Structure 1
Amino acid sequence: MWVQRVIELTGWEPLGIPVDWAAIEGELRTPLPADYKELYEAFGGGVFSDSLYFLGRDEGRAFDFLTQWRADLSVDQDSKYGDVSAVAPHRIYAPGGKGLVEWCSTEWADEYFWLIDAERPGEYPILARSHDIDTWHRYDMSTSEFLYRVLADAGFRPFGIAQYDLGTTFTPGSGDPLDGRPL
């Protein structure tokens, strides 16, 4: 229901991207939310309302979900940073463990993650933070409902962008604006 609402809100024609979910989820060693998979297949990676950077599949890699996760994990596990994590007090999800996986961010430094626990498949609370990186907000709703509320609900504080009247568009992530570097 929520995926369809996002599609209708943006006026997007679903792409029907074929995805090898077994390979992606095999690398993660955990399933991903079903509605995120629908969004991924419908949109790929790109930008909603000129400000929300949705990670899906992007051949240019700038909006590619797995590229971003691998980069986040690599930094989080790099011993030269000690035990410090960019997502403290959490960690980036490592296969088979518990941690955060980013699926969207904004031009205002908002970041949206799932808290994934491989021992609790099917539970995907969303943890979000704004530019105030010490304050985490938890949402027990689906990925597509959260995305819809960010785009359409001006009262969805502190993350709703409808109040800024940016429109509800989607632009595919082709063109590699970051020269292939993860966001």
Structure 2
Amino acid sequence: MWTQRLIELTGWKPLGITVDWAETEGELGVALPADYKELCEAFGGGVFGDSVSFLGRAEDRAFDLPTQWRVFLSVDRDSTFGDVSAVDPYAIYAPGGKGLVPWGSTEWADAYYWLIDAERPGDRPVLARAEDGAWHRYDMSTSEFLYRVLADADFSPFGIARYGLGTTFDPGSGDPADRRPR
């Protein structure tokens, strides 16, 4: 339902991407939200409203969730600066544990994650960190959260509709061909 609303909001023609979810989820050690998979298959990875980056499954490594998760995990485990985490008071999710998996961000340094606990595989709330560092928990689907960010000016502090940036989607790599309506 929310994925369809995003498709209508953006005027996007779904790509129908085929993804090997077993491989992706096998690496993560946990199932990803069903609506997130729908979003990936429809959009791939890219940028909504010229400012909201969405990590999907994409050939463009900058918008590929597993690639970015690996980077976040390696940085989070880097002991160069001690036990400091970029997502304090949380940690980046490691298979079998509890932590955050990044799936989106904005040009203003807002960051979107799922809180994943391997012992509670069906519970994946959205945790969003605002540019001021404050954490906000949303017990809603990824696609509903993303829709509200794009369309609800009152979705504080994350709604971008109040800035009049539009609701376009630009694929990360341009491949397959840009399918935005002209």
TM-score interval, normalised by the smaller of the two chains: over 0.9
For residues 60 and 38 of structure 1, what CA distance do their matches in structure 2 show? 19
Q: Secondary structure at the match of 1:148?
A: helix
Q: Secondary structure at the match of 1:62?
A: helix
Letter in 1 for 2:135: W
Which residue matches 1:144? 143
For residues 64 and 21 of structure 1, what CA distance do their matches in structure 2 show? 13
Q: Secondary structure at the match of 2:115?
A: strand
Structure 1 residue runs without a partner (length 5+): 176-183
Structure 2 residue runs without a partner (length 5+): 175-182
Which residue matches 2:96? 96
Query: After the TM superposition, which residues 1-183 of structure 1 pair with which residues of structure 2 at under 5 Å, given as runs?
Result: 1-133=1-133, 135-174=134-173
Task: Provide TM-score, normalisation by structure 2.
Answer: 0.94
For residues 54 and 104 of structure 1, what CA distance do their matches in structure 2 show? 5
Moved more, 74-83 or 14-23: 74-83
Q: Secondary structure at the match of 1:75?
A: helix
- 1:55-101 CA-partner distances (Å, limit 9, x unpaired): 01221211111111000000001122211100000000001110001
RMSD between superposed Cα atoms in Å? 1.1
Which aligned runs of 4 or more in structure 1 are off by greater than 2 angstroms?
Answer: none
| Alignment: residue pair count | 175
Identity %: 76
For residues 59 and 149 of structure 1, what CA distance do their matches in structure 2 show? 27
Letter in 1 for 2:63: F
- 1:30-76 CA-partner distances (Å, limit 9, x unpaired): 00000000001100000000000000122121111111100000000
Letter in 2 for 1:162: A
**Deviation of residue 132 (structure 1)?**
1.1
For residues 31 and 107 of structure 1, what CA distance do their matches in structure 2 show? 28
For residues 85 and 132 of structure 1, what CA distance do their matches in structure 2 show? 16
Task: Provide TM-score, normalisation by structure 1.
Answer: 0.93
For residues 96 and 8 of structure 1, what CA distance do their matches in structure 2 show? 37
For residues 87 and 129 of structure 2, what CA distance do their matches in structure 1 show? 10
Letter in 2 for 1:68: Q
**Deviation of residue 20 (structure 1)?**
0.4
**Deviation of residue 122 (structure 1)?**
1.2
